[in-house]
Structure 1
Amino acid sequence: MDLRQLRHFVAVADTLHFGRAAERLGMTQPPLSQSILALERQLGGDLFVRSKRSVALTAFGRQWLEHVRPAVAAVAALPAIAERLRSGASGRLSLAFVSTADYSVLPTLVERYSSAFPEVELELVEATSDIQVEDLLNGRINAGILISTRSALPPALAYRPLLNEPLVAAVPESWIEEGRLATGGGTLRGDGWMAQPLIIFPARVAPDFHDLVMRFYRSRGHQPFIRQEAIQMQTIISLVSAGLGMALVPASLRHLARTGVRYLPLAGAPELETGLAWHERDDSPTLAAFLALASPSSRA
C-alpha cells in the first residue's frame, strides 16, 4: 500500500465513477482500476460494489474512507508545514528572562514576536542569568534575556545588547518621612544614603549587576552595608517595602508599584545593560526569526 493507492481510492469514492476519477487524477481508467483491485487484494476485502451502470462503496469501504481521507489530507499538507517550519513561521521557541526584563523589554518583544508568528509555540521561562547561561549551553532554551554578562559569557554563546538604563534608588517611604534620607527635587542628595542597609542580587546570580552596584559605591569612597540578598526583583522590592533596606534597581522597575516604596533618581547613576544571549550553534528557524525582530530598545 502506498500513498498513490490511497489517493486513487479517495478519488473513486468521491466521484463513484472510475472514468471521472481517472480524469481528476490525470490518468487513464485501466491503470486506476488495476490500482483499486490491487488495494482490495492487499486489504482482503472489497471497497466498491461495481456494476455496468454504477459504482458504490461497500460498508467496509465507507468506514475505511473515514480514516483514509484525513490521512491523505495530512500528507498533502506536509509540504506547507515543512515550509512554515523552515521559515520559522511555526514550531517552538523557548525564551528565558530575568525578572527585571518583565518591566522593560520583555512585554514589547513578546507582543511583537507573537503578532508576527502566531503559530509558534512560545515557552516563557523566568530564570536568573546564571541559570540561563547553563540552560543555553545544554540546549534547554533557545534564547535568554539576561543582565549583561558579556565579559563572562562562554565563547559558545552569542550576545546582543537590548537595553541600557540608569539605576534608581528604591527606598522605604517611611525613611523619607522620617528624614532619614536627604532628598531634594525628588532626587537623593549627597552620599549619606550610602550608609543605609542595602538589599542586592547575589554576585553568583547576576555578577555584572552586583559588580556595577559595588563599583558605584566604591567610586565614591563607600563600602555598602549589605543587609540582605535576594534573587527575585519582586522579593527585593518587597523587602524594601518592609523597611529592611534600600536597593539600586533598573529605572524600568518604577513600573512595579508597591505600597511603601519610592523610586528616586540618583546623580551620576551607572547604567545597567540587559541583553539577549543564544547558542551560536542553534540553527532553529524560530530562533532566527526571533533574532531578526529583537532589536535594541531605547533608554527606559
Structure 2
Amino acid sequence: MKAESPLVELRLWRQFAAVAETLHFGRAAARLHMTQPPLTQAIAQLEKLLGVRLFDRTKRSVQLTEAGAALLPEAQALLARARALPAQARAAAAGEAGHLRLAFVSTAGFTLLPEWVRVFRAEHPGATLDLLEATGDVQLPALERGEIDAGFLLHSPGFAPEGLAHLLVAQEPLVLAVPESHPLATARTLAFPKVLAEPLVMFPRRILPSLHDAVFALYHAAGREPRVAQEAIQMQTIVNLVSAGLGVAWVPDSVRQFQRPGVVYRTFGGAQAARVPRCETTLAWRDSPSPVLSRFVAFARRQAA
C-alpha cells in the first residue's frame, strides 16, 4: 500500500519560505517575529516530514538544495492562496463571488441573456456563471433536485411555475413565421381564416404546456382544429422547418433575431392583433437562494425594471 503524504502545517511552509527567500536563519527569524533556535528546529521537522533535505548549511552560508528550490514557488503560491482566503470568504458571503448555475430557454438567448450576462460579469467578476440551455420540462425537475440554481422559463401570461420564487422579466406577442415562398409572406394583410388553415410546425405540449394550450385555444375559438405537420423542441429548429416549407409556426417575437434565410415573420394588425397569444419570460428559483444567486436576482430586478 502506498504511504500517505505527510500533512504539513501552513506554519511550516511559511517558515520554509522565509528562510528560502532570505537564505539566512537570523533574518528569517526576525521576519517571522521569533528566535532562531525554534526556526532551526521547525526546518528540521519539515525536512524530516518530507524525507528530503531542503537546505545546504555551513557556518557561513545557507543554500537551497534542488528539492528546496523546486518547492519554493509552490510554497509561495500556497501562502498567497491562504492570504486570499479571508477576502474570498467575505466576497462569497456578500454574493460577489461564487458559482451560479443558470438555465435558459432558447428565446432568452436571442435577446436579454447575452446582454445580462455581459453586464453581470462586468459588475461581479468574482462570480462564475455556468449556463445551460434547457426547455421548461427539463428545468423544473432540475430546480427541484438542486442541479441548477435558477432558470429563465417561457410561458403564457399568469402561468409562472408554482412552488418557486419568480420574477417576470419580459413580455412579448407571438408572431407568425412563414416560408418566404408562401403567399402569406407577401400578403398585404393577414386574415385568420387563411392562416389557421395552414399546416403548423409546433413545439410539443410537454415542454411548454401553457403556451401550447394558448395557441390551440386560438384555433378552437375560430372553430378549427390545428393541423400539426411537425413537432420540434427548439425554436431555431421550428424556424428551420418553416424554411423547408413544412408549415407556418407561432413563435415569440424575440425569435425574429434568428434571421433564417427562407423565412418571413409576419404580425397581425388592428383588432386581430388582440387575438394573438402573448408570452412571458420569468426567472425562477428555489427559496433560500445562495448569496451569489441573491445578487443575480437583485441584478435581474434592476434590468427588468
Provide TM-score, normalisation by structure 1: 0.84
Q: Distance in 1 between matches of 2:81 and 2:171?
A: 48
Task: Please say if 1:136 is aligned against 2:138.
Answer: no
Deviation string 1:173-225 (CA, Å, 9 cap, x unpaired) is 2222xxx68943xx424543222222221111101211221233334444333
Q: Distance in 2 between matches of 1:75 and 1:277?
A: 36
Q: Distance in 2 between matches of 1:207 and 1:192?
A: 25
Question: Does the 8 A contact of 2:12 with 2:42 survive in 1?
Answer: yes
Please name the residue that 1:105 is paired with.
112
Question: Does the 8 A contact of 2:103 with 2:133 survive in 1?
Answer: yes
Give secondary structure in 2 for the equivalent of 1:188: coil
- Write the mapping of 1:242-257 to structure 2, written as runs, cut at 5 A: 242-257=244-259
Q: In structure 1, list runs of 5 or more residues that go unmatched.
A: none
Q: Distance in 2 between matches of 1:298 and 1:61?
A: 56
Give secondary structure in 2 for the equivalent of 1:140: coil
Question: Does the 8 A contact of 1:182 with 1:192 survive in 2?
Answer: no
Task: Please say if 1:153 is aligned against 2:161.
Answer: yes
Q: Distance in 2 between matches of 1:134 and 1:203?
A: 17
Please name the residue that 2:295 is paired with.
289
Alpha carbons of structure 1 residues 231 and 7: separation in structure 2 relative to 1, 3 Å: same
Give secondary structure in 2 for the equivalent of 1:95: strand
Q: Given residue 194 of structure 2, which amino acid in structure 1 is its aligned partner?
A: G
Give secondary structure in 2 for the equivalent of 1:115: helix
Q: Distance in 1 between matches of 2:161 and 2:167?
A: 12
Q: Given residue 65 of structure 1, which amino acid in structure 2 is its aligned partner?
A: L
Please name the residue that 1:192 is paired with.
194
Give secondary structure in 1 for the equivalent of 2:245: coil
Alpha carbons of structure 1 residues 252 and 7: separation in structure 2 relative to 1, 3 Å: same
Give secondary structure in 2 for the equivalent of 1:204: helix
Please name the residue that 1:261 is paired with.
263
Q: Distance in 2 between matches of 1:42 and 1:225?
A: 77
Give secondary structure in 2 for the equivalent of 1:294: helix
Range with bigger deviation, 249-258 or 87-96: 87-96
Give secondary structure in 2 for the equivalent of 1:292: helix
Q: Given residue 289 of structure 1, which amino acid in structure 2 is its aligned partner?
A: R
Question: Does the 8 A contact of 1:22 with 1:32 survive in 2?
Answer: yes
Q: In structure 2, list runs of 5 or more residues that go unmatched.
A: 1-7
Give secondary structure in 1 for the equivalent of 2:176: strand
Range with bigger deviation, 5-14 or 72-81: 72-81
Shift of 1:52: 4.8
Give the alignment's Cα RMSD to 1 decimal: 2.9
Q: Given residue 36 of structure 1, which amino acid in structure 2 is its aligned partner?
A: I
Alpha carbons of structure 1 residues 242 and 64: separation in structure 2 relative to 1, 3 Å: closer
Please name the residue that 2:79 is paired with.
72
Question: Does the 8 A contact of 1:163 with 1:297 survive in 2?
Answer: no
Question: Does the 8 A contact of 1:88 with 1:285 survive in 2?
Answer: yes
Question: Does the 8 A contact of 1:161 with 1:296 survive in 2?
Answer: no
Q: Given residue 255 of structure 1, which amino acid in structure 2 is its aligned partner?
A: Q
Q: Distance in 1 between matches of 2:295 and 2:172?
A: 26
Of residues 158, 173, 176, the one that matches 1:166 is 173
Alpha carbons of structure 1 residues 241 and 164: separation in structure 2 relative to 1, 3 Å: same
Give the paired residue count: 292
Question: Does the 8 A contact of 2:173 with 2:279 survive in 1?
Answer: yes
Deviation string 1:244-283 (CA, Å, 9 cap, x unpaired) is 21111111111111222211112223321011112224x4
Q: Given residue 172 of structure 1, which amino acid in structure 2 is its aligned partner?
A: P
Question: Does the 8 A contact of 1:162 with 1:296 survive in 2?
Answer: no
Q: Distance in 2 between matches of 1:296 and 1:226?
A: 40
Question: Does the 8 A contact of 2:55 with 2:68 survive in 1?
Answer: yes
Shift of 1:132: 0.8
Alpha carbons of structure 1 residues 92 and 207: separation in structure 2 relative to 1, 3 Å: same
- Write the mapping of 1:269-288 to structure 2, written as runs, cut at 5 A: 269-281=276-288, 283-288=289-294
Please name the residue that 1:215 is paired with.
217
Shift of 1:117: 3.0
Shift of 1:171: 1.4
